[in-house]
């Protein structure tokens, strides 16, 4: 499952696990659940210094300003030879962000992963979210609150008509 991971700075986070989601919309729902689901940048323990003035929470709480994500775009192994035109899950997420005007996305070149998987061609993306657009998208597309039942007030010992 997708999660947000801190990097060596509080200014940039990595979106990890995009490939576990079937659609870019599903991935975006999970991104929003993690960043906006409990309130945007609610103060909490932060970097372990809860009394730090201006503390805005953990590096992964709330919607950040810079996200890095990446994915396999094409591969060649076991006799398969996917074309360099293949669009991978990270490119699909980048296109989704762009099409829905959720911020600016910049893509690196598609390159072979020479260090570990030479048969994989990967691409790295940097996303600068448009905070208001992402919040609006989340409001429209996120899970809807469950309906609740409001019980009528009645004095103790008096039978109330409960609408079930």
Q: What are the pLDDT digits (tens) for 58-87?
A: 555 678 889 999 998 876 555 555 554 556
Q: What are the pLDDT digits (tens) for 20-64?
A: 898 999 999 999 988 887 666 554 444 444 455 555 555 556 788
How far apart (Å, rounded) are the C-alpha atoms in residues 115 and 44? 38
By residue count, the chain amounts to 164
Nearest to 119 by CA among 74, 73, 70, 76: 76
Q: Greater confidence, 91 or 145?
A: 91
């Amino acid at each position: 499952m997708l999660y947000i991971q801190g990097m060596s700075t509080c200014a940039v986070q990595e979106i990890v696990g995009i490939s576990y989601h079937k659609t870019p919309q599903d991935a975006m729902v999970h991104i929003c659940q993690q960043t906006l689901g409990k309130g945007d940048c609610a103060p909490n323990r932060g970097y372990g210094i809860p009394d730090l003035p201006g503390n805005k929470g953990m590096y992964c709480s709330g919607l950040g300003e810079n996200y890095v994500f990446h994915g396999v775009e094409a591969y060649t192994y076991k006799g398969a030879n996917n074309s360099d035109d293949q669009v991978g899950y990270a490119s699909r997420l980048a296109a989704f962000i762009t099409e829905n005007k959720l911020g600016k996305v910049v893509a690196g070149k598609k390159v072979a992963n020479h260090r570990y998987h030479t048969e994989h061609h990967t691409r790295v993306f940097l996303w600068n979210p448009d905070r208001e657009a992402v919040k609006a998208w989340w409001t429209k597309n996120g899970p809807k609150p469950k309906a609740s039942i409001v019980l009528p007030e009645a004095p103790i010992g008096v039978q109330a008509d409960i609408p079930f």
